[in-house]
Every structure is written in C-alpha cells, then in structure tokens.
Amino acid sequence: RVPASTFKIFNTLIAYETGVVTDDKKLFKWDGKPKWIKAWEQDLNIRQAIAFSAVPVYQQIAREIGAVRMVSFLKQLDYLSISGGITRFWLDGGLVISAVEQIEMLEKLYHARLPVSKEGQAFVKDILPAAKRGCFTAHGKTGWAFTNKKPDHGWWVGWAQQTSEAKPIYFALNADVRDKSQLGLRQSLVFDVLHDFVQLREKECQVN
C-alpha cells in the first residue's frame, strides 16, 4: 500500500542528505492560501511540519530534491518508484510498502544502518513526533491514504520504549480508515497491544 505521510520520515532523510534541510531552523513559507488543515496555514520549520504532517511543505521539499536525486536515494533505500509525480508519488502514486518493510526500514534507521549518513539518521530520529501512554513512549509517523479521492487506509509506524535505554519495540499498523472519526484508532490500537504484551509477560506496566 502507499505509505502516505509515513514517507515523511524518509522524505526528511533525503532532504537532509541533499542539503535541502540542514537543521530544524529553516522556515518553509505559507503561500497564504487556505489549506486542508488549519495548522498548515503558517510558516513551518521541519520539526513542526512533520508534527503537523504538513503535505504542502513536504511537496515543496520533494520539488527541491528533484526527481533525479529522489530516484537515486529511493533506490539506495530499496524504494523503487516515483510514478505519479514528484509531489504525489507517496500519497496516491506508485510508491508502495508493506508493514513488514516499514519495520525493516525503521529498525535500520533506529540503529543508523541505512546507506546514508549517521548524522542524517540521527536528525530524523530527533524530530520524529512522540506520543506517550502509560509506560510507553512511541516515536513515529501516522499516515492516511486516499484512493480515487476517497479515504482508504491509515498507518502508524515507529518504535516504542518503556525507557530511553530499553530495547525498542517496532510497530507498523496498517488498517482501513474510511472516516476521519477513525483516525485516533491508529495510535490507540498500537498502545493497547503494547501494554497487553508487556502486562502478560512482565506484570509491571500500568496503563494511565
């Protein structure tokens, strides 16, 4: 399935590697036009853009990277296609990925084993949005894909830890999400499974 906004993880990495983004200070200017989400109607740095999942910012980033460099890095990362256009390929184009492949990529990112700079991988890890429930803190990215302009499926991918030193538990939820009211289920389902998993084995994680 298309990765939708989970691709912002690797779009950010490629942006860093190509020098389009070098830190979290650069501002991407709002064009003054109404956007689908109100939070996008402002100038945003990359940390804010990934937190708000700002599609227009990442489309600008993709244009600045350009098709040639994008294809080159996607091949290095084992992604193969940008069919659908430089600003749409991860949203409703030819780029597809499975949940297992998402986890394989995330594990390599966490351990800085992707075929790019360790600095770039550390930068992406640092700006990934965090969510906390009970004794778990999760770092990752949501996504919501549309097919023929209709809501189709949702993602939440990342890793979760009980402490910053604990071994990460990688996750990649992909589920049919046909209505905006279902978006919150992406994170709640993952946290439910994480806490059930730990409670069954360790009896030490309390859900708040």
Alpha-carbon span 20 to 126, nearest angstrom: 17
* Separation between Cα atoms, residue 5 and residue 8, nearest integer Å: 5
- Specify whether the CB–CB gap between 132 and 157 falls below 8 A: no
Q: Helix, strand, coil proportions of the chain in percent (round to 5)?
A: 45, 20, 40
Contact 205, 199 (CB under 8 A): yes
* 5 included as an active-site residue: yes
Active-site positions read 5
